[in-house]
Amino acid sequence: MRTQAPVLGLGLPIREYLLAGLTAAVITFLLTGLVRVLALKLGAVAWPRGRDVHVTPTPRWGGLAMLAGVLGGIGLAAQLPALRLAFDYSYDVPGVVLGAVLLVAVGVLDDRYELDAVTKLAGQITAAGVLVLFGVQWAVFWVPWGGDGAETSGSLLILGQEQGVLLTVLLTVALVNAMNFVDGLDGLAAGIGLIAAAATCVFAIGLVKQNGNDPSAYSPALIAAVLAGACLGFLPHNFNPARIFMGDSGSMLIGVLLAAATTSASGRISISTTTDGTDILALFAPLIVLAAVVFVPLLDLLMAVVRRTWAGMSPFSPDKMHLHHRLLEIGHSHRRAVLLIYLWAGVLAFGAVALALIDDPFIVLWAVGVGLVVAVLASAVPRARIR
């Protein structure tokens, strides 16, 4: 494995990213029907429960088709002229593949046999540990305090080995469970995963450009591109009315790949002296993007933990009070509720990416503000009608 990456004279490998993503989408789309038949034969079926929205038994294991799509997209990327260089300069992609396969295996067993929470948590921590072993971990990030107050604002925190490992594991487990919690309506997790991955991919491609098209920065965008493709390929089978669910195997796959892409991207940002607001935003951008692309599932996760703990229940106890359930209660249809959450996630995710990559923040903030107003009004319409 090489230790230094030359700057390529060619343009950014946008077409290769698109090709890898489309390959993941096509493979996922074509294999989902076969996985559906397999799930029905082996009993991996979601039977309707009191807290569920669906009323007919629906097969799970959609995550298997999504994983196949991800592996296919990565396999193709390894044969392409530019993206194959990503495998020469870091172990990020092999580590992500191994961690994803491990976590999907846990999800497949859970979709069929309903594993206990401790076993699933152990699997999630192990997958995060695999990422760390292959070098995918947080090492440095910017905080908005410190600095000399004149030429620099804020300061850089250099994480020790133990701190970097702990932050990476916590982040991965949080994202995996957030995506698992939000998977409550047809097409919801797949759509949010698509939006989050697409926004992260755009941001990561921006990092490739900022790094002078250095192949060592190719990995984050590749991971995000194949995840976006897998979600896109699965969505036609999963949008209301769903013919198959992704199950824990799919939602945990989305969570671990999002965590891996953002963590890997954080290591591609220059940590030279910060001198202006643009540099500060560039340093802080992975955290902004991370918070924005998973705002909806993380908010839902936080509210669920607080709600259940306050009621004296386990944080993992199921209920029917998630954000998507509340949208249904105030009068939105199933599809409209899903599309509204798409809107919120899209405005926040791509707004954060635009702030990181566009020099004029005023235009970006104005556009994001308009998008948020539209989202609020659209969400409040059914309640206004009831009143």
What pLDDT score does 109 carry?
Answer: 94
Tokens of 109: 């067993």
Cα separation, 73 vs 296, whole angstroms: 27
CB 100 within 8 A of CB 283: no
Distance of CA 309 to the CA centre of its chain: 26
- Is the CA virtual torsion 346, 349, 350, 355 positive or negative? positive
Cα separation, 386 vs 364, whole angstroms: 34
What pLDDT score does 330 carry?
Answer: 62
What are the pLDDT tens digits along the chain (387 aa)?
Answer: 544 444 444 578 999 999 999 999 999 999 999 999 999 999 888 876 555 555 578 899 999 999 999 999 999 999 999 999 989 888 999 999 999 999 999 999 998 888 888 999 999 999 999 999 998 887 766 665 665 554 445 566 677 778 888 888 998 998 888 888 777 778 888 998 898 899 889 988 988 888 788 888 899 999 999 999 999 999 999 988 889 999 899 999 999 999 999 888 877 766 554 444 444 454 445 555 556 655 665 666 666 677 667 767 665 555 555 565 566 666 667 788 788 888 888 888 888 888 777 777 788 889 989 988 988 888 777 654 444
What pLDDT score does 29 carry?
Answer: 97
DSSP one-letter string for 114-168: ---HHHHHHHHHHHHHHHHHTT-S--EEEESS-S-SSS--SEEEEPPHHHHHHHH
pTM above 0.75, yes or no: yes
Q: Where are the alpha helices (DSSP H) in 267-360?
A: 277-293, 295-310, 323-329, 334-357
What pLDDT score does 127 carry?
Answer: 95
Cα separation, 248 vs 110, whole angstroms: 7
Cα separation, 380 vs 369, whole angstroms: 17
What pLDDT score does 72 carry?
Answer: 97
Q: Which of 292, 294, 286 is nearest to 267 (CA)?
A: 286
Cis peptide before 297 (omega within 30 of 0): no
140 CB-contact burial (10 Å; exposed 0-12 / middle 13-18 / buried 19+): middle
CB 293 within 8 A of CB 199: yes
Helices 92-113 and 219-238, packing angle to 10 deg? 30
Residue with the two structure tokens 């295996």: 105
